[in-house]
Amino acid sequence: MIDLTGKRAVVTGAGSGIGRATAGLLAELGAAVVLADIDETSGAEAAKEITAAGGEAAFVRCDVSKAADCDRVMAATGGRLDVLFNNAGIIRRSTVCEITEDDWDLVMAVNIKSIMLMSARAIPLMAAAGGGSIVNTGSGWGIKGGAQAVSYCASKGAVVNMTRAMAIDHGPQNIRVNCVCPGDTATGMLADEARQLGESVNAFYEDAADRPLGRIGQPRDIAGTVAFLASDAAAFVSGAVIAVDGAGTA
């Protein structure tokens, strides 16, 4: 049911974790993918993996909080775009009393502003092609609160409702906008959370696995949901907020 042959996609945060897995899966399903990441080494490696496997991929170094960088990513699409996966994100574990102003601004710039910048450039291209699919990465903590993560919770809550607003605004252009909300997933960001809190990574992962399915997520788990939302199999799905978390928020 999921065939992306002939589609063009942009994935942000594509150098590692969920973004890397999703870029690879979209390419496997036939899409030509532009990978965007601030880490030039990992982003270029991810694109090379796709092309070595027979897929079509290009890498653009991008700070998603900068308009000029987002312009360069969109230019790499050749002027046509069907799928945008707004996945780039960061976390700073702290309370509202502990977080610095710089860290707050950085989290909001990467997690929210980037979606505005990338989507504003993607939507005209999609509209010109007759429609498209935008998928935003939220979080289980965009649905409910969490301890010592006030800026992250605030940003992901904003992503969830921003998704709904975009779906309303751009549905008439046949552009579907949805949000995936991963639970704890085995990525570098999850390991970094443990370090920020001064905890053992292994112990942190064990605690995160305390959910009905009894494990943490793997990047490919989330990639599969994104691929579905990007495809025609989800042609009537828009404005949805889908938890991909092993029933962690249930």
Catalytic residue among 59, 85, 141, 152: 152
**Catalytic status, residue 205:** no
DSSP secondary structure letters along the chain: ----TT-EEEEESTTSHHHHHHHHHHHHTT-EEEEEES-HHHHHHHHHHHHHTT-EEEEEE--TT-HHHHHHHHHTTTT--SEEEE---------TTT--HHHHHHHHIIIIIHHHHHHHHHHHHHHHTT-EEEEEE--GGGTS--TT-HHHHHHHHHHHHHHHHHHHHHGGGTEEEEEEEE-SBSSHHHHHHHHHTT--HHHHHHHHT-STTSS-B-HHHHHHHHHHHHSGGGTT--S-EEEESTTTT-
Please identify every residue annotated as catalytic. Answer: 152
